[in-house]
């Protein structure tokens, strides 16, 4: 499909070059802008389709639920990429179609993606999937094993320094082998039937219903992701009065000057009565009795 699209693009470009060079250049610019805007979504879609095909190849004993919105304990919804139901357990799969070097650990809140010198941070997918599993456990209300799997693109290079205990973090090419490692039946036929009914109830009947659920979920994500603004409490300032204030004029002594700095001596009032003080106070602290 991608090869066909590339060949079609080249064919159109060749035709436009024969018609007008400037038109061909405009076509290249427009298609470049459009591809930059929609390329991440296209990559994500291709990655999701690849994961679905791998899960579908696991046999008829499994049931797959893609893009599920599961109610949480607080009434909000959380979105899970893939849920695989099998007699060997429930596999909760979070996909990250990231390339480049991936740094992180189970305890770090944010991981880092490095492509050449460009670094970007993203929320710890192990913690993210842990929240998904918690919501699913609450919804199912059954004692069954749930396995957390984080799937990255094959183009991702892991730079983890510590092993993971709460999740399987792997590339797409290792997904099938990892799931096939679970060979012990841990969920009974009765439980499988009940879980299947509960999960099927989360699947929207129409595209419109799915669109509305997704819209409500995105609105909630935007709210919790938005940093809380500090509430500024405005306090009305009331005038404070402490009775009448009497300001006495400073009287200048004309008959003498400060022996230290030569400034005039002025009459000041203190706790012990009036006195002469230097007009250069506080630089000069000379005083003299009246």
pLDDT in tens, 24-68: 677 677 666 655 544 455 555 666 789 999 999 998 899 999 999
pLDDT digits (tens, 9 = 90+) for 92-130: 999 999 999 999 999 999 999 999 989 999 999 999 999
- Sheet containing strand 100-103, edge to edge, reads 118-123, 110-115, 100-103, 156-158
Cα separation, 90 vs 69, whole angstroms: 16
Phi-psi region of 75 (alpha: psi -120 to 50; beta: other; left: phi over 0): left
The torsion angle over the Cα atoms of residues 107, 128, 117 and 40, rounded to 10 degrees, is 170
Question: pLDDT grade, residue 17 (50/70/90)?
Answer: confident
User: Would you say the C-alpha torsion 18, 24, 27, 31 has a positive or negative sign?
Assistant: positive
Q: Is the pTM of this model over 0.95?
A: no
Strand partners for 120:
113
CB of 115 closer than 8 Å to CB of 99: yes
Interval 143-170 mean pLDDT: 96
Cα separation, 241 vs 244, whole angstroms: 8
Which sequence spans correspond to the domains of the chain?
Answer: 1-57, 59-223, 251-289
**Which range, 176-185, 205-214, 225-234, is most confident?**
176-185
Interval 160-176 mean pLDDT: 96
Q: Which residue has the higher pLDDT, 193 or 219?
A: 193
CA distances from 56 to 7, 53, 62, 280 (A): 30, 5, 8, 93
Cα separation, 66 vs 60, whole angstroms: 16
Q: What is the pLDDT of residue 26?
A: 72
Q: Per-residue pLDDT for 206 more than 90?
A: no
CB-facing half-sphere around the CA of 288: CA atoms within 13 A: 13
């Amino acid at each position: 499909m991608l090869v066909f699209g590339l060949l079609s693009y080249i064919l159109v470009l060749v035709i436009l070059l024969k018609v007008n060079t400037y038109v061909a250049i405009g076509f290249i610019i427009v298609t470049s802008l459009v591809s930059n805007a929609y390329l991440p979504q296209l990559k994500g879609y291709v990655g999701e389709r690849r994961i679905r095909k791998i899960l579908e190849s696991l046999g008829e004993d499994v049931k797959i639920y893609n893009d599920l919105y599961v109610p949480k304990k607080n009434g909000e919804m959380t979105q899970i990429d893939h849920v695989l139901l099998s007699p060997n357990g429930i596999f909760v799969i979070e996909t990250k179609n990231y390339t480049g070097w991936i740094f992180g650990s189970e305890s770090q809140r944010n991981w880092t993606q490095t492509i050449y010198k460009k670094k970007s941070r993203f929320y710890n997918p192990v913690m993210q999937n842990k929240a998904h599993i918690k919501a699913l456990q609450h919804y199912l209300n059954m004692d069954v094993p749930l396995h957390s799997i984080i799937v990255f693109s094959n183009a991702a290079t892991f730079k983890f320094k510590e092993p993971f205990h709460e999740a399987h973090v792997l590339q797409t090419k290792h997904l099938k082998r990892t799931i096939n490692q679970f060979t012990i039946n841990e969920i009974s036929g009765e439980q499988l039937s009940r879980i299947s009914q509960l999960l099927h109830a989360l699947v929207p009947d129409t595209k419109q219903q799915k669109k509305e659920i997704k819209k409500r979920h995105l609105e909630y994500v935007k709210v919790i992701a938005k940093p809380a603004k500090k509430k500024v409490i405005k306090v009305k300032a009331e005038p404070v009065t402490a009775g009448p204030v009497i300001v006495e004029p400073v009287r200048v002594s004309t008959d003498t000057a400060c022996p230290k700095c030569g400034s005039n001596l002025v009459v000041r009032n203190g706790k012990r009565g009036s006195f002469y003080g230097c007009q250069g106070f506080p630089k000069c602290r000379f005083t003299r009795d009246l």
